[in-house]
Amino acid sequence: MTAKVLISDKLSPAAVAIFKERGLDVDFRPGIDKEELAAIISNYDGLAIRSATKVTAKLLQNARNLKVIGRAGIGVDNVDVQAATAQGIIVMNTPFGNSITTAEHAIAMMFALARQLPQADISTKAGKWEKNRFLGIEMFAKTLGIIGCGNIGSIVADRAIGLKMRVIAFDPFLTPERAVEIGVEKVELDDLLKRADIISLHTPMTETTRNILSAEALAKTKKGVRIVNCARGGLIDEKALAEALKSGHVAGAALDVFEVEPAEASPLFALENVVCTPHLGAATTEAQENVALQVAEQMADYLLKGAITNAVNFPSISAEEAPRLRPFIALAEKLGSFLGQLTEAPVRAIRVEYEGEVAKLNVRPLTAAAITGVMRPFLPDINMVNATLVSKDKGITIEEVKRESSEHGNFDSVVRIVVDAQDMARHAAGTVFNDGKPRMVDIRSINMDAEFAPHMVFVRNADKAGFIGSFGMVLGKAGVNVATFNLGRDKPGGDAICLVAVDEPVSDSLLREIETIPQVKRARRLSF
């Protein structure tokens, strides 16, 4: 069945064309009201938006078939990411489509501040010719302090270095090597506040960065500093900034974003040393086209190939990786499900070990699949998108281990999952054969070669004569047909395991009868 995409905001016609060219059904409904959107959202696999559509938890309750939300732009403030994650919906943005545009707007705002261009324009058009009033400053040799030196911040740094400015940057995620590569000096925030002639913000809006330029922080800045914010409203305490501007401690501010948008009133609007624009950072023809094309390509790749790019709530999977990862994702989920169905006590930790060639792959989606499999018997609503978050909330420790060589010499790649529960630790390992099908190759350190089937029975038993015959008779008496029968043991006469695929679910009464076989220590029915 062909996947369907709804575009509910204004996007370039080129985006519609991409969806159609890729073989997807697409409905272009910009401006659709929220009641109608809620009524039809269940019909779609994908939702492409800009900033007008508000994807709330209430709306998502109706989105039973929705798999991906694509935001043509960087910010996802209009999407309830937590609610989407809980439902297993991928949320994508387009962080690179408007990077240059936003960076250029920040540079333009710096020049506007430095030379008082908006004020001079108004004065001149009023016929005043106040040449001596608008004394500016040069950008040359000034120190630019960038708060948040990621994609956009690094472009601003590059442009500023071209203007022969000195650039310092505060960003906890900026490595010393990356700082050298882009030509900036990595500093702590207090050092930046003390040294910068101009401060430009390019950090996401989080609880950590909210009011990063507070009254206290502004008091630490150099007298005469100029401040530019083309990132997100709420990074600056606007009331504190207004006071600092009135006192002259801050010489000027240029803001493209505000705490409340649309910004119809602000204590900053009446101040002559403030330049304001209505969130124009991404407002160029090129950027609008770029983000529309990018979101269409990303959503199409996900719906058609399983590739995940620029997701804010799941690890990326490239289009090239997706075909190779898909069978290992299935293996990790089923292997985890096997262990989860055997586990009754609370889970304390999950360790996923990757050996051989699989260790060289992008394993984060595999780990998410393994967690999902382990936890689903206890938490039916868990999915690959929310698995890591849910396990963290439950206090479950997650560990990944990679080994270049496999301890199972017969296999190029092995995935092993260890589930540490309060009663005991359980582990199993599997691989993907050349036919692309996942197999279990190790259960409790006993070698196996078992395919997964929709209905299975797991038995742990004593390795004694008569078990196979008794087990087969019980199944036959109940009219249950055996599809595959796999046996393994640690040593002659020791512990043994039996994994059987059957053609129909095993009933409670049949399971109890299996448990009465003298050699049986434990029996569990499984479903995959």
Give CA separation, 475 vs 61, 338, 370, 481, 511, in Å: 43, 21, 31, 7, 10
426-432 long-range CB contacts below 8 Å, 24 or more apart?
426/339, 426/342, 426/343, 427/339, 428/335, 428/338, 428/339, 429/335, 429/353, 430/331, 430/334, 430/335, 431/331, 432/327, 432/328, 432/331
Give CA separation, 223 vs 158, 244, 499, in Å: 26, 10, 75
Residues 238, 269: contact at Cβ < 8 Å?
Answer: no
16 assigned to some structural domain: yes
442 assigned to some structural domain: yes
Q: Give yes or no: 279 in active site.
A: yes
pLDDT (0 to 100) of residue 409 = 64
Query: Residue 133, class by beta-carbon neighbours within 10 Å (0-12 exposed, 13-18 middle, 19+ buried)?
Result: exposed
398 assigned to some structural domain: yes
Task: Say whether both 43 and 147 belong to one domain.
Answer: no
Q: Supply the DSSP symbol for 505.
A: P
Q: Which of the listed residues 412, 432, 451 is the one where a domain comes to its end?
A: 451
How many domains, in total, are found in the chain? Answer: 4
Task: Say whether both 299 and 355 belong to one domain.
Answer: no
Give CA separation, 408 vs 213, 240, 246, 412, 431, in Å: 56, 64, 72, 8, 10
Q: To which H or E segment does residue 245 belong?
A: helix 238-247
Given the residues 21, 188, 216, 261, the one annotated as active site: 261
Task: Say whether both 92 and 172 belong to one domain.
Answer: no
User: CATH number, domain at 432?
Assistant: 3.30.1330.90
Q: Which domain holds residue 386?
A: 321-451
Task: Say whether both 434 and 505 belong to one domain.
Answer: no
User: CATH number, domain at 525?
Assistant: 3.30.70.260
Give CA separation, 55 vs 11, 46, 51, 60, in Å: 17, 12, 10, 7
Q: Give yes or no: 261 in active site.
A: yes
Given the residues 202, 232, 351, 460, the one annotated as active site: 232
Task: Say whether both 352 and 371 belong to one domain.
Answer: yes
Cis peptide bond upstream of 262, omega within 30? yes
Task: Say whether both 129 and 174 belong to one domain.
Answer: yes
Given the residues 279, 351, 376, 416, the one annotated as active site: 279
Task: Say whether both 330 and 212 belong to one domain.
Answer: no
* 14-73 residue pLDDT tens: 999 999 999 999 999 999 999 999 999 999 999 999 989 999 999 999 999 999 999 998
314 assigned to some structural domain: no
Task: Say whether both 62 and 129 belong to one domain.
Answer: no
Task: Say whether both 9 and 133 belong to one domain.
Answer: no
Task: Say whether both 150 and 226 belong to one domain.
Answer: yes
Q: To which H or E segment does residue 57 belong?
A: helix 57-60
282 assigned to some structural domain: no
User: CATH number, domain at 38?
Assistant: 3.40.50.720
CA distance 396 to 180: 38
Q: Give yes or no: 232 in active site.
A: yes
316 assigned to some structural domain: no
Q: Which of the listed residues 403, 433, 451 is the one where a domain comes to its end?
A: 451
CA distance 251 to 319: 49
CB 347: neighbour CB atoms within 10 A? 22
* 144-179 residue pLDDT tens: 999 999 889 999 999 999 999 999 999 998 989 999
Task: Say whether both 73 and 132 belong to one domain.
Answer: no
- pLDDT tens series, the chain, 528 aa: 899 999 999 999 999 999 999 999 999 999 999 999 999 999 999 999 998 999 999 999 999 999 999 999 888 889 999 899 989 999 999 988 889 999 999 999 999 999 999 999 999 999 999 998 999 999 999 999 999 998 899 999 999 999 999 999 999 989 899 999 999 999 999 999 999 999 999 998 888 899 999 999 999 999 999 999 999 999 999 999 999 999 999 999 999 999 999 999 999 999 999 999 999 998 898 988 999 999 999 999 999 999 999 998 888 898 888 999 999 999 999 999 999 999 988 899 999 999 999 999 999 999 999 999 999 988 887 889 989 888 888 889 999 999 987 666 678 999 999 999 999 999 999 999 988 899 999 999 999 999 999 999 999 999 999 999 999 999 999 999 999 999 999 899 899 999 999 999 999 999 999 999 999 999 999 999
527 assigned to some structural domain: yes
31 assigned to some structural domain: yes
Task: Say whether both 90 and 134 belong to one domain.
Answer: no
